[in-house]
Structure 1
Amino acid sequence: MYDKIVLPYEFNELEPYIDAQTIETHYSKHLQTYVNNLNNLLKDYENLTEGKTLEDLLRNVSELPEEIRQGVINQGGGVYNHNLYFSILSPNACTMPKGDLLEKINKTFGSVENLKDELSKKAIAQFGSGYASLVMDNNKDLFIKATSNQDTTLKDGFTPILTIDVWEHAYYLKYKNLRPDYVKNIWNVIDWNKVDELYNK
């Protein structure tokens, strides 16, 4: 059985940047639906999932039976992407990376501001639904990638450590069609301590 993370803050604690109704609906309804659909899809395939994390499944999705492969990409990706997204947000966010991650960001992008600018542009430009993410490869080199729908970069060998959800349900109640405003404001609640943990894990 795969599950959603325990939300590390109350629904209203990310205000004014993300409103309580959006967090509650996004977490309790959208994410829960992905969890339910994924577990229903996999209930007859316990031999394939035993001892495997969701990340394991998505990294090796090409090895899954064809009849469930796209379903795991869609539903499993929905669980994985949302869990990552919610886990890196915080009402008490550390707004700057540090240590090895900061050094790597400066080396790769020139500065944290350059990274934020590039990632924001990728998020705003994403056509339709999806995510813009800061990802790392096995050598801990950093890249910015956009993915559509609930695809992940895991199958391509990249582990996301920071992601911005640009599905409309992530922002529409508060921001309506103004995705750039949402993307600009989300940096106030992205917790670099969480991103740092993922980078160093």
Structure 2
Amino acid sequence: MALLSHVTRKTLTESLRLGLKSHVRELQTFTLPDLPYEYGALEPAISGEIMQLHHQKHHQTYITNYNKALEQLDQAINKGDTSAVVKLQSAIKFNGGGHINHSIFWKNLTPVGEGGGEPPHGSLGWAIDTNFGSMEALIQRMNAEGAALQGSGWVWLGLDKESKKLVVETTANQDPLVTKGLSLVPLLGIDVWEHAYYLQYKNVRPDYLKNIWKVINWKYAGELYQKECP
């Protein structure tokens, strides 16, 4: 009986270890998502060269490093190396956030011929007018906060699911919007890292922010809003 109990405990421990290992490995199978348009489809607002580099190089780097960090986390957990687990959190946050943010960003854009820049209708349009006064006021506020953001980061239009109100927030580096509040859902995110605009707009971030609205996919943002706040 003692031997059976020992074997059972050993088997259970091994199963739990393998299960955790399998779970973490499942989390690290991230790949670069395809764009729903050609690289040059957003011109002249955003050049094809920028889009290709942004997608193939920058986003891919976040994914590569995120997968690597998750693999290292898997190894650290199995070794019981708490120090390594803690140390890896910053890499997971930065690279995982980069993957999350860019995956949203690509969907927030669409060519002019496919609805890019067309103002939102329905419930999202009404919510923007209610919370900000007008679409023009929202754009001015997001442009101002995006231009004033020191260093690199993002400017967001989000939905606070608790208050049912729209909010404008900025996040530093690759922090996703959820870091500003667990109830916040990103509807629209604009990348204000230099790699998103420098080849075309040099250091004039306000010009980039002014022109990106010509290719904003308000239909996608409206669908998200309707889903989260029917």
TM-score by length of 1: 0.87
1:35 aligned onto 2:59:
no
Using the aligned pairs only, state the percent identity: 41
Residue of structure 2 in register with 1:95 after alignment: 118
Distance 1:79 1:200 in 2: 24
**Segment of structure 1 superposing worse, 84-93 or 1-10:** 1-10
RMSD: 1.5
Q: How far is 1:17 from its partner?
A: 0.7
Q: How many Å separate the matches in 1 of 2:186 and 2:49?
A: 26
Q: CA deviation at 1:136?
A: 1.1
SS in 1 for 2:123: helix
**Higher RCO (CA 8 Å, separation ≥ 6 residues):** 1
Change (3 A) 1:72 1:200: farther
Letter in 2 for 1:40: K
Aligned pair count reads 184
Question: Out of 185, 195, 200, which is 2:221 matched to?
Answer: 195
Question: 2:117–2:213: 8 Å Cα contact kept in structure 1?
Answer: no
Greater displacement, 189-198 / 151-160: 151-160
CA 1:193–1:41: 2 relative to 1, 3 Å: same
Name the counterpart of 1:116: 139
Superposed displacement of residue 40, structure 1:
1.1
How far residue 101 of structure 1 moved from its aligned partner, in angstroms, is 0.9
Q: Which structure has more helix as a fraction of its residues? A: 2
- 1:83 deviation in Å? 0.9
Amino acid at match of 2:95: Q
Say whether 1:75 aligns with 2:95. Answer: yes
2:157 matched residue in structure 1: 134
Residue ranges of structure 2 left out of the alignment (5+ in a row): 1-28, 75-84
Letter in 1 for 2:165: D
Distance in 1 (alpha carbons) for counterparts of 2:57 and 2:91: 19
Matching of residues 161-176 of structure 1 within 5 Å: 161-176=187-202
Instruction: Say yes or no: does 1:149 pair with 2:173.
Output: yes
SS in 1 for 2:33: coil
Q: Which residue matches 2:20?
A: none
Counterpart for residue 79 of structure 2: none
In structure 2, what is the Cα distance between the partners aligned to 1:5 and 1:143?
Answer: 27
Q: Deviations over 1:76-99 (max 9, x none)?
A: 010011111111100021521111
Q: How does 1:6-45 map to 2 (within 5 A)?
A: 6-43=34-71, 45=73
Matching of residue 180 in structure 1 with residue 206 in structure 2: yes
Cα contact 1:95–1:187 (8 A) shared by 2: no
**SS at 1:127's partner residue?**
coil
Q: Counterparts of 2:194 and 2:206 in 1: how far apart (Å)?
A: 12
CA distance in 2, matches of 1:168, 1:70: 21
In our comparison, the structure showing a higher alpha carbon Rg is: 2
Shift of residue 152 of structure 1? 1.5
Query: Hey, what does 2:30 align to over in structure 1?
Result: 2
Residue 200 of structure 1, CA deviation? 2.1
179-188 vs 35-44, which moves further:
35-44
Q: Secondary structure at the match of 1:30?
A: helix
Q: TM-score, normalised by structure 2?
A: 0.76
SS at the partner of 1:164? strand
> What is the letter of the counterpart of residue 80 of structure 1?
I
> In the alignment, is the contact (CA less than 8 A) between 1:130 and 1:146 conserved in 2?
yes
| Runs (4+) off by over 6 Å | none
